[in-house]
Chains A and B, each alone.
Chain A
Amino acid sequence: MSDNTKNIEEKKDKFLAEENKKRIVTGPDGVQFEVDPLQDYFCDKRPVAKDPKNKVIENFLNWARAESLWVLGFGTGCGNIEIPPLLTPRFDAFRYGIQMRPTPRQSSVLIISGYLAVKTLKRAIRSYEQMQNPKYVLALGSCTINGGMYYDSYNTINRLDYYLPVDVYVAGCMPRPEALLSGFNKLKERIKAGRAEGANDYANKFDWYKANQKKIIKDWNMPDYNW
């Protein structure tokens, strides 16, 4: 374990971008101070599982959460082309309480739309970790299930649930918007039944998820948990 940590520390230094390195900065008033962007801009706190307390209240809140799904507008693969039609008059996802949000902090659903390259996975993890508990992951397309047609690619992950807690898989290559809407309905059922506790699972099995992520993201140059 310690050897592994040391290895990662070394890698962190090797891959660290120039603007994220520790440095001495002279302020406008002439005072010199040290800047460590990794400490100042990110947070190293582990996620904490927050279990629901009162069952009756939680059921009511889950109903509200299920009917108000805010989707992070973050397109990861080819499947992202299926998301904009959801908002058009033909499919009109707004009537199911599905809305698009521009920022991870405000959204509760992360759609992984299609194949996920390692480079994109890194960004997807960062976006996921910035989202607030409770949060849900909807994985779209065969690529997220078993790699799909990219199962032997050098740069595309094979199964998403090793890196992020997935609530609903929508199979297909690519699934049509109708399939996506039905995936949203499945997600609603899951939330209302109180089974969509992905954020808490992620916090509880944090070490396992991080080990998997670090196995394939070789230039790990950010803190382990960054919001």
Chain B
Amino acid sequence: MNDIIVKLLWTLLGLFIVLNWGLLMGATMRKIVARVAHRYGIPFYQPWLDLIKLYSNRSSISHGVMFYLGPVFRLGGGLGIFLFLPLIYGSEHFSNFSWAGDLILILYFQFFGMLGMALGASDGGHPNSVIGITRGLGQFTTVEVPLTLAVISIALQYNTLSISEIVAAQQGGFQNWTLVTNPLATAAAMLSLLGLFREAPFNLVKAPNEVPIGPPTEYHSAFLGILRTNGALLHVVEAALFMNLFFGGATHWVEFIVKTFLVYFWSVFVGVVSPRFRIEQSVTWFLKIPLAIGILAVILYI
């Protein structure tokens, strides 16, 4: 009984670190984008101020129960990934609640948040919500296909569905990383990561001034605060997931921070030099090269 409470406290500490690192990383990336555009960009503490402001708004509007639950589901999805993801390899405290089948669970949680938003959208009353949700889910579904193929490939390669074991198998130097031992799966996953992080060219679904972005236009005050919190959390945990699966995991926090930063930076790096795809363009893009690489990666290990 005592053990589980201590573990919970350590997990909360991990959550605190990950959340703040996510906010700082988001601000840093926006700074990088600004520097590319020859601007100074936002101050590095801007995300915290935005969150304080959003949570302290004095009024908010609700459209019923599902409208409340939309952001909660989204945050649930982010927290779900976090809870079952081992952050630091070999650390007793920061392995969270990872267990034998956590890889499948995490893939499930990735979709969970999107579905929550879809349910919330129906209560928002915004006439364009349906278009926004259809676009978001449509793109996300095609993003998941190469990612899932890559995950199947490395599950076959290491013969396990536990992230901790996959990380353990990659220890002992650079030459043991999945990046080297299974480059095809890594390539498919890194391409689908571009869609997962929704930077340009795949940022149509979250571009604020496109008319039908759907539910996020309706959310405000604390609702938007929850969504932003989840956004910061999700960026780190997804980057950590890729770090664990393909780049040998992390044995201490410095390594964790450097590797998650580089994984996120990859999508921003592509983003700042790319124009924006339309939805049908991005859907067909994911179903061509990334899908082919993913299928090849699976065939090699059957």
The reply to whether A and B meet directly (CB within 8 Å) is yes
Given known contacts A50-B58, A95-B41, A106 and B224 CB-to-CB distance under 8 angstroms: yes
Q: Counting CB contacts under 8 A, is B276 at the interface?
A: no
Q: Counting CB contacts under 8 A, is B2 at the interface?
A: no
A94 to B221, CA, bound (A): 20
When C-beta atoms are compared, the residue in chain B nearest to A91 turns out to be B39
Q: Counting CB contacts under 8 A, is A134 at the interface?
A: yes
When C-beta atoms are compared, the residue in chain A nearest to B220 turns out to be A105
A65 touching B56 by the CB < 8 A rule?
A: yes
Which 3 residue pairs are nearest across A and B when measured between Cβ atoms?
A: A105-B220, A64-B52, A133-B58
Within 8 Å by CB of A68, from B46, B59, B125, lies B46
| B192 shortest CB reach to chain A, Å | 28
A107 to B138, CA, bound (A): 29
Within 8 Å by CB of A94, from B34, B61, B219, lies B34
Q: Counting CB contacts under 8 A, is A73 at the interface?
A: yes
A-B contact pairs, 8 of them (CB 8 A): A50-B59, A68-B49, A92-B41, A95-B40, A100-B209, A102-B208, A106-B219, A106-B224
Q: Counting CB contacts under 8 A, is A67 at the interface?
A: yes
For window 15-66 of A, CB contacts with B under 8 Å fall at: 41, 48, 50, 61, 64-65
For window 226-273 of B, CB contacts with A under 8 Å fall at: none
A50 to B221, CA, bound (A): 15
A contact residues, total (Cβ < 8 Å): 27
A89 to B35, CA, bound (A): 9
**B-chain residues with CB within 8 Å of residue A134 when the two chains form the complex:** 57-58
A227 touching B34 by the CB < 8 A rule?
A: no
**A-chain residues with CB within 8 Å of residue B60 when the two chains form the complex:** 132
For window 51-76 of B, CB contacts with A under 8 Å fall at: 52-53, 56-61
A133 to B53, CA, bound (A): 11
B42 touching A95 by the CB < 8 A rule?
A: yes
A94 to B30, CA, bound (A): 10
A108 touching B53 by the CB < 8 A rule?
A: yes
| B172 shortest CB reach to chain A, Å | 45
Taking Cβ atoms with an 8 Å cutoff, the residues of A that contact B are 41, 48, 50, 61, 64-65, 67-68, 73, 89, 92, 94-95, 97, 99-103, 105-106, 108, 132-134, 199, 227
| A204 shortest CB reach to chain B, Å | 14
**B-chain residues with CB within 8 Å of residue A68 when the two chains form the complex:** 46, 49-50, 52-53
| A97 shortest CB reach to chain B, Å | 6
**A-chain residues with CB within 8 Å of residue B218 when the two chains form the complex:** 103, 105
**A-chain residues with CB within 8 Å of residue B56 when the two chains form the complex:** 61, 64-65
B43 touching A95 by the CB < 8 A rule?
A: yes
B125 touching A105 by the CB < 8 A rule?
A: no
Interface centre among B53, B125, B219, B224 (most CB of A within 10 A): B53
B58 touching A73 by the CB < 8 A rule?
A: no
A92 to B43, CA, bound (A): 12
**B-chain residues with CB within 8 Å of residue A108 when the two chains form the complex:** 53
**B-chain residues with CB within 8 Å of residue A132 when the two chains form the complex:** 57-61, 220-221
| A71 shortest CB reach to chain B, Å | 12
A73 to B56, CA, bound (A): 22
A41 to B217, CA, bound (A): 16
A102 touching B209 by the CB < 8 A rule?
A: yes
A105 touching B40 by the CB < 8 A rule?
A: no
When C-beta atoms are compared, the residue in chain B nearest to A63 turns out to be B49
Interface centre among B38, B49, B57, B218 (most CB of A within 10 A): B57
A106 to B227, CA, bound (A): 12
A92 touching B39 by the CB < 8 A rule?
A: yes
